[in-house]
Amino acid sequence: MADVKPRIKLDKKDVAKGGIIEVKTLVSHTMESGQRKDKDGKVIPRKILNKFTCDLNGKTIFSADIESAVSANPYFQFKIKPEETGTLTFTWIDDDGSKIQATEQIKVA
């Protein structure tokens, strides 16, 4: 899963204190729900990204516990009010324990 590159878009990377940054994320993943059956009638096992976190300098400021009712190629749009300059780390965790990760630098005046 290390080779999956998530798409991340911040509407701005530089804000005054108290300012809001809109974050959009999109990552390629089939999000196999565990509800489908293959052509032999066997259930295709569930395999989804079950957690998403957005950390600022190592501290989680937004996260989501994801279940199989989230569509494939999960898309999240949210807004943060960062209090300090630093590194935003976005992490998605798969049922099999593997991680997808990306970072963005932001500046807070």
Partner 1 sequence: MVRPLPLAFTALALVVLAVAPHAQDMPPGPAAKEASERPAWQAHGLKPQNPNSPFDEVVSGLYFRSKETQEMQADDFNNPGFLAVEQGEELWSKVDGAAGKSCASCHNEASTSMKGVAAAYPKWNEKLGKPINLEQRINICRSGAVKAEPWAFGSSELTAMTTYIRTQSRGMPVAVKVEGPMTPWFERGQSLYYQRNGQLDLACASCHEKNHGKYLRADFLSQGQSNGFPVYRLRDQRLVPLHERMEGCMQDVRATPFQPLSDEFLALETYVAWRGLGLPVETPAVRN
Partner 2 sequence: MTSAKIPALNRRQALAFGTGAVVATAFAFRTGPALAAKPATDEAIKAFTRGKEPVRGKVKLELPEIAENGNTVPMTVSVDVPMTAESYVEEVMIVAEGNPNPGVISFHFTPSSVAEANTRIRLAETQNVIAVARMNDGSVFSDVRQVKVTIGGCGG
Residues that bind partner 2 (CB under 8 A): 20, 33, 35, 56, 60-72, 74-83
Binding partner selected for residue 66 from partner 1, partner 2, none, CB under the kind-specific 5 to 8 Å limit:
partner 2
Q: How far is the CB of 71 from partner 2 (least distance, A)?
A: 4
Hey, how many other C-beta atoms are within 10 angstroms of the C-beta on 6?
17
Q: Which does 79 bind (CB under 5 to 8 A by kind): partner 2, partner 1, none?
A: partner 2
Radius of gyration of the chain (CA): 16
Q: Which tokens sit at 18?
A: 């108290």
| Beta-sheet strand order (sheet of 86-94) | 14-15, 99-108, 86-94, 49-56
Residues forming the site for partner 1 (CB under 8 A) = 5, 7, 9, 24, 26, 28, 30-31, 71-73, 75
